[in-house]
């Protein structure tokens, strides 16, 4: 897709704003925003201010418009393409469908390596491999792993449980074809942000319960894990942030068919009756995020079940920061921690072999 001139101009302006002296950036962003004993990072508040000034939003009036907006908006915040990372296309069978995927391999990475099967965020409705291209590249390069980024089918054309089924099929494909992908079948992690975190947690639970191959590690980035309960963070961070209560309701309306049991663990892995025996997990949440509390509740549920889990709250950040590494150093700091956790998690699996 050619980048419109207006988008290129906005991207250049955004880069310039983030290079301004801190007092000027604070003047543009406004007084510090404090909620729930936390103060929003200047980088995050400045990004929200630019979003307000340009009239952009995560969700638009239509599905098509929302998808296009996110595809174009990535050019404002993702930064220059991260290199050197080799990419190649992969096709994954899922039922009677074929899923497109991209395999990322940082330069010089030997075979076999660890592999992350990655599922992009976007409320199961928007987002794509393209919107998360630099996120996948960043994790591949800085974690020293291969990343298989999957284009699972999305709602409303393909509502629940199709995206879950695609995610499980993608993991099974990666495990069965590990050698061809340059990966170690015993060091395959799953992970994703938001909706992608939901799919990762749900498929891990399902794989562990059926027996046979299961992920070696879970990288869950501000995941959505419970459709049954409205927690406190959804109330206090409901408005004027990147992800809002209104947009969450919009996503759910498209993804979850009427009459669905919201306690189905394929949809709400947090409320599953048994979490024992799951692989280690690293869960990162954002302080100013409606999903914060359920992500941290999932970490506690895993811990109670005897699962090795680490949770890291970024108290000054907003939902979506994985995609904002092209602007503001604070977003890159948090994403670097994610890459470090992935590297360590898969390295431990190698030592245990």
Which one from 66, 113, 194, 200 is the annotated catalytic residue? 194
Q: What is the 3-state secondary structure (H, E, C) of the chain?
A: CCCCHHHHHHHHHHHHHHCCCHHHHHHHHCCCCEECCEECCHHHHHHHHHHHHHCCCCCCCCHHHHHHHHHHHHHHHCCCCCCCEEEEEEEEEECCEEEEEEEEEECCCCCCEEEEEEECCCCCCCCCCCCCHHHHHHHHHHHCCEEEEECCCCCCCCCCCHHHHHHHHHHHHHHHCHHHHCEEEEEEEEEEECHHHHHHHHHHHHHHHHCCCCCCEEEEECCCCCCCCCCHHHHHCCCCCCCCHHHHHHHHHHHCCCCCCCCCCCCCHHHCCCCCCCCCEEEEEEEECCCHHHHHHHHHHHHHCCCCEEEEEEEEEECCHHHCCCCCHHHHHHHHHHHHHHHHHHHHHHHHC
Tell me whether residue 120 is one of the annotated catalytic residues. no
Which one from 43, 184, 226, 289 is the annotated catalytic residue? 289
Tell me whether residue 316 is one of the annotated catalytic residues. no
Tell me whether residue 194 is one of the annotated catalytic residues. yes
Which residues participate in catalysis according to the annotation? 194, 289, 319
């Amino acid at each position: 897709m050619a980048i419109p001139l207006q988008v290129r101009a906005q991207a250049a302006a955004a880069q310039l704003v983030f290079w301004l002296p801190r007092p000027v950036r604070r003047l543009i962003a406004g007084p510090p925003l404090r909620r729930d004993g936390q103060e929003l990072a200047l980088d995050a508040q400045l990004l929200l201010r630019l979003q307000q000034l340009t009239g952009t939003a995560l969700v638009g009036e239509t599905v098509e418009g929302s998808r296009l907006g996110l595809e174009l908006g990535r050019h404002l915040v993702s930064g220059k393409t991260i290199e050197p990372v080799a990419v190649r296309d992969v096709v994954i069978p899922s039922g009677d469908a074929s899923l497109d995927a991209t395999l990322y391999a940082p330069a010089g990475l030997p075979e076999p390596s660890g592999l992350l099967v990655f599922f992009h965020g976007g409320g199961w409705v928007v987002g794509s491999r393209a919107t998360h291209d630099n996120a996948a590249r960043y994790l591949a390069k800085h974690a020293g792993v291969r990343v298989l980024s999957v284009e699972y089918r999305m709602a409303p054309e393909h509502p629940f449980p199709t995206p879950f089924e695609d995610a499980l099929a993608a993991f099974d494909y990666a495990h069965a074809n590990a050698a061809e992908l340059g990966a170690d079948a015993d060091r395959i992690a799953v992970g994703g942000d938001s909706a992608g975190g939901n799919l990762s947690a749900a498929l891990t639970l399902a794989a562990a319960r059926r027996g046979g191959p299961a992920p070696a590690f879970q990288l869950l980035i501000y995941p959505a894990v419970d459709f049954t309960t409205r927690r406190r963070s959804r109330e206090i961070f409901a408005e004027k942030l990147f992800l809002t209560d209104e947009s969450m309701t919009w996503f759910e309306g498209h993804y979850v068919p009427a009459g669905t049991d919201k306690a189905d663990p394929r949809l709400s892995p947090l409320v599953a009756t048994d979490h024992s025996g799951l692989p280690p997990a690293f869960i990162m949440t954002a302080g100013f995020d409606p999903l914060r509390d359920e992500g941290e509740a999932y970490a506690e549920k895993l811990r109670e079940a005897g699962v090795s889990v680490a949770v890291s709250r970024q108290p000054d950040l907003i939902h979506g920061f994985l995609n904002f590494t092209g602007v503001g150093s604070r977003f890159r700091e948090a994403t670097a921690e994610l890459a470090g956790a992935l590297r360590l998690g898969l390295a431990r699996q190698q030592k245990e072999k």
